[in-house]
Amino acid sequence: MADTYDLIVIGGGPGGYVAAIRAAQLGLKTAVVEREHLGGICLNWGCIPTKALLRSAEIFHYLEHPKDYGLTVEGKVGFDPSAVVARSRGVSQQLTGGVAFLLKKNKVDVIWGEAFIPKPGDVVVSKPKKPAVQPQNPPPKGTLGEGTYKAKHIVIATGARPRVLPGIEPDQKLIWTYFEAMVPKTFPKSLVVMGSGAIGIEFASFYRTMGSEVTVVEVLPQILPVEDEEIAALARKRFEKQGIKILTATKVSKVEKGADSVTATLEDASGKAQTITAERMISAVGVVGNIEGIGLEQLGVAIERGVIKIDGFGRTNVPGVYAIGDVAGPPMLAHKAEHEGVICVEAIAGKHPHPMDKGLIPGCTYCQPQIASVGLTEAKAKAAGYEVKVGRFPFIGNGKAIALGEPDGLIKTVFDAKTGKLLGAHMVGAEVTELIQGFVVAMNLETTEEELIHTVFPHPTLSEMMHESVMDAYGRAIHK
């Protein structure tokens, strides 16, 4: 007889394991099916290990510029690529072990294998058809295996994978995705990064800091296309000052592989072509949802633009089948997946959660300088019909930023001129990925400009710039 659960989650990434734990907390008998590794792309190949790499690059940068801080360093500063990568992998493994512990603590069963849904209520688990990128072998103790399992509710949280452009297929040696870029045996002397979203820019920043000659190619007119135009322009200036070459409104039309190099043919908006040769190329042109091989076609689950179509509570058009995270569409971010998972299972359990408001999901890019944002850009606010008030405050006017040696940056706020509602906040500079949450909380609480102006910010902190930016929108900035 098949094992029966109240809820089975397919996928053990951030969305999946968080949904499973929350379901268990609510008293539902829960299991997670995972075919490769607990923690998903985020803990194993994305969010966490990339931040470990970037931290190594940040420290290396400081060691190379000790005089900026009145310090001296004896001898030549260097690095060991294998040790940098090993530290990143160690951080990842520590956290994936933590996920296994949390699932066990909450009495969530882990079923090891590949899931298929033949009909609502049934999950058939078999041996994975494709080799794992990073197999967790042997599977954690206490996990179940192949077989048929039943559940009243099935949550699909299968995540996404790198998008592949025809004719520019990654080959693990010369053309990398983020998988290969995470674990190089040596750092390439030259690198072409195709795509300037968060993934592409973070790797461009890392490799440039570690000494690679980096060229970023972006088909759109602006790098960091989802960010506010003004913030993206400031970030570009910083990247170019660091020596990163950036080509916008340019596409990679062809790639030729050599013995240990790639030659890319680039075409700009006018059709003018040029070639560039580098040791390696990183393809960072987005991700696509893992919708294949689950049984969605037979079930009749609605697919839209390559992802599963859901409502604000993760429900698909098929009763008893739900989807969360990257496989359910953008923004493809771990924190969106986690929150979406909680909303989904709380609705299943009969609670009354608020549906996901994607306008309140912050985005962060952990390059140097960092970029962070939430809500509408100035252009999108105007396009939506708002009359706006815009505030700006530069890092050069903040005492803490100057003391840190980080005087370059900007905090920008966008308000509805009629109501004082905060429509969006956009930042570039040191530690802005930590600062942005202040504005996220404010927007969730529907805070007005008056309430923000009357909030006391501690001194000396970088957060004071948030206050000044708000006041600047209303002609009240003190230190500008």
- DSSP code per residue over 116-128: E-SSTTEEEEE--
The token pair at 349 is: 């359990």
From the CB of residue 135, how many other CB atoms can be counted at a distance below 10 Å? 12
CA pair distance 341, 170, nearest whole angstrom: 31
The token pair at 238 is: 């910083």
Strand partners, 372: 364, 427
Torsion angle defined by CA atoms of residues 51, 52, 58 and 60, in that order, rounded to the nearest 10 degrees: -160
Residue pair 314/329 in contact (Cβ under 8 Å)? The answer is no
CA pair distance 466, 437, nearest whole angstrom: 11
CA pair distance 415, 57, nearest whole angstrom: 36
List the one residue out of 69, 50, 57, 108 whose CA is nearest residue 406: 69
CA pair distance 473, 445, nearest whole angstrom: 20
459 catalytically annotated: yes
Measured CA to CA in angstroms, residue 199 lies from 54, 60, 332, 399 at distances of 12, 21, 12, 31
DSSP state of 473: H
Residue pair 185/81 in contact (Cβ under 8 Å)? The answer is yes
Task: Give the active site residue among 37, 61, 153, 459.
Answer: 459
Residue pair 416/423 in contact (Cβ under 8 Å)? The answer is yes
Matching residue, tokens 């209303």: 474
CA pair distance 54, 57, nearest whole angstrom: 5
Residue pair 116/37 in contact (Cβ under 8 Å)? The answer is no
The token pair at 23 is: 């379901």
- Strands 422-429 and 250-257, how do they pair? unpaired
- Residue 300 burial (C-beta neighbours within 10 Å; 0-12, 13-18, 19+): exposed
Residue pair 43/96 in contact (Cβ under 8 Å)? The answer is yes
Active-site residue numbers?
459
